[in-house]
Amino acid sequence: MKRKFRLQLMLGLVLAMVITSGLYAFSYLSATATMGVTVTGADIATYELATTQPDWDFILTPVTQTEILRPDAAGDETNISSQYPDSGEHWDKVYEETPDGDSTYVYTSSSAWQEDLYSIADHSAGAGTINYVKVYMECRADASPTQTSVYAHIKTNETEYNGSEATITTSYATYSYQWNTNPQTLTDWTWDEIDALQIGVGLREPTAEQNTNCTQVYVEVSYEAPLLSGDVPMDDLFDITPHSEFTGDLAVRVYLTNTGDLVKAYDSLNINLYLEGSVEAGETPNYRTLALENGWVTFNLKDFTPGNTYTLSVTTGGDYELVSRDTSEWEEGWTVTPEFYCQIVQRGE
C-alpha cells in the first residue's frame, strides 16, 4: 500500500511559511525541524514498499554441521585388561586427534567382552537440533579373526548401550555405530545429554588367545543450527517518487524502528543501504550503513528528475552476528527481521 509522509512541525518551533503563486507551500528549514512541503495539495514525494524484499528469514536457515568430542578423562568403566604403554591411563591411549597406531592403544585377548568408558569434553560449537551421535573406533586384530571383537559403547542417563558387533581386520581401520536418538529416552538427543555422555569401546579376542587393539575413540555429533554470522540478505526496500511538479532537493531518512527486539537476536547488525540517484550514490563508499548503534541514516536527492522513481535497497557488504546459534537461548520477543521507517522532507541548503 502506498504510504505518504507529511512531516509535522516539532513542538516549540515556529516556522514561517511563504506562499507563492498559490501553487507551492514552501517552508523555511532549520537545523532541527521542517514542515512538510506540498505541491498543489499533494505531498512532495511518496514511497511504497518495493515489490521484492530481503529474505530476513534466510538468517534462520539451519545448516548441518558436526562437532567432534574426544576423551578427556576416565569414565565409569576401565575394564579392558591392558594398555600400551603401561604408564598413564586408558583414556589417554585413545584420545589423540590423529590415530597413532601401535604407539598407544588399549587391548585384550580375553574370550569375554571387556569395556572401557571415557568422559568427553563439553560441546562448544554445537547448537540447535541434534541429528545423531556417532562413536568411532580405530581398531585392528593381531591375527585373522574368526569372530566379532569390537563394538561401540556409551553411557547416557545412567544407562549403558552397545552398538553392533564388528569383525575387524589385521590392519587398523575405522569402525562406528550411530544413535539417531537417545536410546534411553527414545527422543532427540539434548545438549545436556551430550555434555553428560560417556563413550567407549567393547573388546574381546578376534580369535583364540589373540589381541584386539584399539588406538582411537571419539564421538561425532551432527546438528542443525543457523550460522552464527554471515552477510545480510540483499534486495529492494522502498520505491521513492518525488512529485512531478516539485523542483527542490529532498532528504531521505531511513530509521530502524525495532532495535529493542533485534538486540535479543543479534550481537551486531550492519545493513548497507543504497539509494539510486542520491548524492551518496556517487561517493565512495556509495552506501550508508544502518546499524543497531546509530539507528538511522540520511540520503540526499538533488538534481533528480521529478516524477521519476528511485529505489532504496540493501546492498553488498552488510553483515551480522547472532547472540547464539541456538534460538532457545534468545530473549523472549526476539526477531531477526528489521523494521524500517522512511521519512522524506525538503532538503535545506
Q: Are 100 and 215 in contact (CB under 8 A)?
A: yes
Angle at 154 between CA 149 and CA 158, to 5 degrees: 135
Average pLDDT over residues 281-288: 97
Split at pLDDT 50, 70, 90, the class of 159 is very high
CB atoms within 10 A of CB 14: 6
Instruction: Spell out the CATH class of 63-225.
Output: mainly beta
Nearest to 45 by CA among 232, 277, 262, 318: 277
Quickly tell me which residue has 518525488 as its cell.
242
Nearest to 133 by CA among 62, 78, 184, 72: 184
For residue 203, what pLDDT is reported?
Answer: 98
Q: Domain spans of the chain? A: 45-61+228-346, 63-225
Q: Is 213 left (phi over 0), alpha (psi -120 to 50) or beta?
A: beta
Alpha carbon distance 327, 335 (integer Å) = 10
Split at pLDDT 50, 70, 90, the class of 340 is very high
For residue 274, what pLDDT is reported?
Answer: 98
Strand 310-314 with 212-225, pairing: unpaired
Question: Which phi and psi (to 5°) does residue 93 adopt?
Answer: -90, -10
For residue 348, what pLDDT is reported?
Answer: 62
Split at pLDDT 50, 70, 90, the class of 43 is confident
